[in-house]
Structure 1
Amino acid sequence: MTHSKIILTIAAVLTLTACADKNPAVASLTIKVTPPADYSASETIHLVGSFNDWALEGDQAYPLSTDKGELSTTIPVTEKNVFFTLVKNKNWQLMPANEMAKSQCIYLHQATGDDAEMAVHIPLWTGDKPLKTAEPSLSGNIVQHKDFTLPQFARSSDIDVYLPKSYQHNPDKTYPVLYMLDGQNIFNAQSAHSDEWRIDELLEQLTAAGTLDEMIVVAVPNSVHRWVEYNPWDFKDRDGKAAQGQGELTIRSIKDTLKPFIDSSYRTKPQSANTGLAGSSLGGLMAIYAALAHSDTFGFTAAFSPALAVENMHGKNVLFEAIKQQQTIGNSKIYFDMGQMEYGNYEQIEQLNSLLLKQGFQAENLKLVKDDLGRHCEVDWSRRFPGALKWLQAGI
């Protein structure tokens, strides 16, 4: 080998070494899983998450393997926050549930840059028979109105009303009212689909500490037709078929029937500036719709992780199209948020914010929160609730 070639070879080695120093070995996360007691070796369990684009098939799939009776798998950690869950038999309907057979939130691992282990216990899969019954978890003064008639849907619904601590002791005081959709998840672990929001506990603590002002909260549960009743516009359903949204009827059931009852039964501040609507996911879509179409009733709204993937039969985003066509802009305050993992980035929620501003909403009436740790579940919506309500209460 000539002298020049030796020099070039040494230079190449030094370059590779320098590159290696700049790109250290990727850290790993080993996830060890304790499956339900009736687990069978014939079942498959796959780990899916942000690290593999939630893939169940192909080269990106991560099936759990058994080693000395322990189920585990190891994944590379290339991002600060790793979101993941587990799927049984490649069926998205079979995911981790707690002992009450209620679905659990997506798991979160916050990386430190070092190799790590994480233990996950799965009591049940969604759809399994519960191991125990969920206990009631109501706190404070909650009045339950059983079988409240909603003529808009020709059915009845159980309505729960949270009254502030001072309500019984201060008969001259009146209160703002917040209506919350998916009401079965708001106060009570027993009725919640998965986790509850714990709004009663939060308000008891935060109003006692003076962090939040007192208000009445009315929990309005959904029906088995939630997908239709929480869509304000006609849309393309999960099977690609045209579906007629009944979201307007849902708002009318609150505006024309429930709100007059609440205002006549309790000491409320009935004006629109003191009346709010909040919801998550499709309920968040409804909250934004209320601000667009019913600002005369709802002066403030909160949309937690609003559903931003609903399309019409032309493949257009139903919410974005509605905003573009909005003729009049009310004075409603809108809080809306999103977790980064929910859509993989913040592009859609930023587009929503831009469209609202372009259409005439005042910047001071909009509050966008981006949550890098946010997941699509009640646990994180509850965590963001105090901040949302504190901003909305300003000026009430």
Structure 2
Amino acid sequence: MSSCWQPKDDFWFNVTFIYHKETITHSSVYLTGDFNGWSCSQHLMVACSEGYTVTLSLCTGFYHYKFFSDDAWFHDDHNPHRGGERGNSVMFVHMDPTVYGLRPQSPPHRDYHRPETPRNHFHTLSPSLTADIAAHGILQRLVFVYLPPSYSSDPTRRYPVVYANDGQNLFSTPEHCGGPCMGGWAMDAHCDHHWTQGTLPEFILVAVPNSDFVCIGNRTKEYCTADFQDTSQDPYICYLVEVVKRDIDATYRTLPDPCHTVAMGSSNGGLCAFVCAVNHSQVFGGAVCMSPSFWHVDRDNHAAYSLVQSRPQPPSRLYIDSGDGLGDNRYDVKMMSDTLTRCGWKHKYLLDECASRMPHGMTHLETAWGARVLDALKYVLDS
């Protein structure tokens, strides 16, 4: 997998690693981790009073690492945090040095529950990572699964699946989503209402939390791929396809073909959903991309446009939108819509004129996305 990802907007810090040894017995010690492709020869550590040391410049986020010497691997005895199948040491870089460590994972506290039905429609899974994906910084996490009303009563029926990025934001969870002023999308309550009314096709919602739900993480690194043109080796997309989708299809009665598989997200998560659908239309036949952050590709979107123009097989159902207020990227999204039209791609574009209804005219936030997500899903599921 690629280890050359370079962020554009993150903070970088000098981080000193120390391999603590009271008695120096090794001829040479190397620092190896996901930041250097697990190279055993790139970062030679130098002897110091505490053992061996080396200093690297790293951006905010989480990293797996070990020490390598005499053909053996050693974790960091002075770091209590472990991750991955091989017990890698996990280190966190943040502008606030007091912020560190893995967060305790638990299902969102949902204020809403489906009335008059058994409470077995909200599930949690923890898909096991493959060693190569875990080695590149993808942390294991809980995945939330919300089942439609007929799932229990109709045991022969199979369902489309929507895979949603930033999955901790989707439910009736006021304590998530950056605080109560931003709120959750309340998709559990809204989907139930429309499912009952017959105004929304039933589907299985798979909500995949971002890395910041697990630890300080780096959501930008996880969602904004290193190579917009080739994501076949992108760690997060491989995790979504090879780990999460694999387990969902094995556990639930899904319709696993691309015609019934949708990627969904907002902002960076919306960009990731777009990339998934465009580069992997053989897996994701549809995508809901709400206020996708095309600025992370390049300011003029040349790479994004080149990608669209070079793809002979577009996804069959593509939805993109933006708000009209502060913090949204309405012009980038409109330019992309125009490009899709010129290339003959079927899609739906929406400019949501919602700034007048939002605090301080901000439209790039959870409440705006939650208000229009169901109409977006109707489009991609009914097409």
Range class of TM-score, shorter chain: 0.5 to 0.7
Relative to 1, partners in 2 of residues 1:319 and 1:377: Cα closer, same or farther, differing over 3 Å? Answer: farther
2:162: which partner in 1?
A: 178
1:269 deviation in Å?
0.6
1:370: which partner in 2?
A: 351
Q: Does 1:228 align with 2:202?
A: no
Q: Check whether the contact 1:212–1:390 (CA below 8 A) recurs between aligned residues.
A: yes
SS of the equivalent of 1:178 reads strand
The equivalences for 1:193-212 within 5 A come to 193-194=178-179, 195-212=183-200
Relative to 1, partners in 2 of residues 1:248 and 1:325: Cα closer, same or farther, differing over 3 Å? Answer: farther
Alpha-carbon distance between aligned partners in 2 of 1:298 and 1:199, rounded to the nearest angstrom: 21
Q: Does 1:189 align with 2:189?
A: no
Alpha-carbon distance between aligned partners in 1 of 2:331 and 2:292, rounded to the nearest angstrom: 13
Relative to 1, partners in 2 of residues 1:324 and 1:161: Cα closer, same or farther, differing over 3 Å? Answer: closer
1:289: which partner in 2?
A: 275
Q: Does 1:137 align with 2:130?
A: no
Alpha-carbon distance between aligned partners in 2 of 1:246 and 1:232, rounded to the nearest angstrom: 10
Alpha-carbon distance between aligned partners in 2 of 1:160 and 1:291, rounded to the nearest angstrom: 21
Instruction: Provide, for residues 53-94 of structure 1, a one-character-per-residue CA deviation record: whole Å limited to 9, x for no partner.
Output: xxxxxxxxxxxxxxxxxxxxxxxxxxxxxxxxxxxxxxxxxx
Alpha-carbon distance between aligned partners in 2 of 1:149 and 1:199, rounded to the nearest angstrom: 27
Structure 2 gaps of 5+ residues are 1-107, 115-120, 212-216, 356-362
Q: Check whether the contact 1:229–1:245 (CA below 8 A) recurs between aligned residues.
A: no
Q: Check whether the contact 1:337–1:369 (CA below 8 A) recurs between aligned residues.
A: yes
Normalising by structure 2, report the TM-score: 0.60
1:162: which partner in 2?
A: 146
2:99: which partner in 1?
A: none
1:167 deviation in Å?
0.7
Equivalent residues, number = 250
1:248 deviation in Å?
2.6
1:263: which partner in 2?
A: 249
The equivalences for 1:1-396 within 5 A come to 135-137=109-111, 139-140=113-114, 141-146=121-126, 148-149=128-129, 151=131, 152-154=133-135, 155-187=139-171, 188-194=173-179, 195-223=183-211, 224-234=217-227, 248-312=234-298, 316-317=300-301, 320-323=304-307, 326-342=310-326, 346-361=330-345, 365-374=346-355, 375-395=363-383
Query: Relative CO higher for 1 or 2, CA cutoff 8 Å, sep ≥ 6?
Result: 2
SS of the equivalent of 2:367 reads helix
Instruction: Provide, for residues 299-328 of structure 1, a one-character-per-residue CA deviation record: whole Å limited to 9, x for no partner.
Output: 11000111132244xx65365354356343
Instruction: Provide, for residues 70-126 of structure 1, a one-character-per-residue CA deviation record: whole Å limited to 9, x for no partner.
Output: xxxxxxxxxxxxxxxxxxxxxxxxxxxxxxxxxxxxxxxxxxxxxxxxxxxxxxxxx
Higher radius of gyration, 1 or 2? 1
1:259 deviation in Å?
0.7
Q: Structure 2: which amino acid aligns with 1:205?
A: H
Relative to 1, partners in 2 of residues 1:319 and 1:191: Cα closer, same or farther, differing over 3 Å? Answer: farther
Normalising by structure 1, report the TM-score: 0.58
Instruction: Provide, for residues 331-361 of structure 1, a one-character-per-residue CA deviation record: whole Å limited to 9, x for no partner.
Output: 3311111111146784322210111222341
Alpha-carbon distance between aligned partners in 1 of 2:226 and 2:207, rounded to the nearest angstrom: 23
1:101: which partner in 2?
A: none
Comparing 194-203 with 164-173, greater Cα deviation is found at 194-203
Alpha-carbon distance between aligned partners in 1 of 2:328 and 2:178, rounded to the nearest angstrom: 25
Between the aligned residues of both structures, percent identity stands at: 31
Structure 1 gaps of 5+ residues are 1-133, 236-243
1:211 deviation in Å?
1.0
1:202 deviation in Å?
1.1
Alpha-carbon distance between aligned partners in 1 of 2:273 and 2:295, rounded to the nearest angstrom: 16
Relative to 1, partners in 2 of residues 1:192 and 1:246: Cα closer, same or farther, differing over 3 Å? Answer: farther
1:390 deviation in Å?
1.1
Relative to 1, partners in 2 of residues 1:214 and 1:376: Cα closer, same or farther, differing over 3 Å? Answer: same
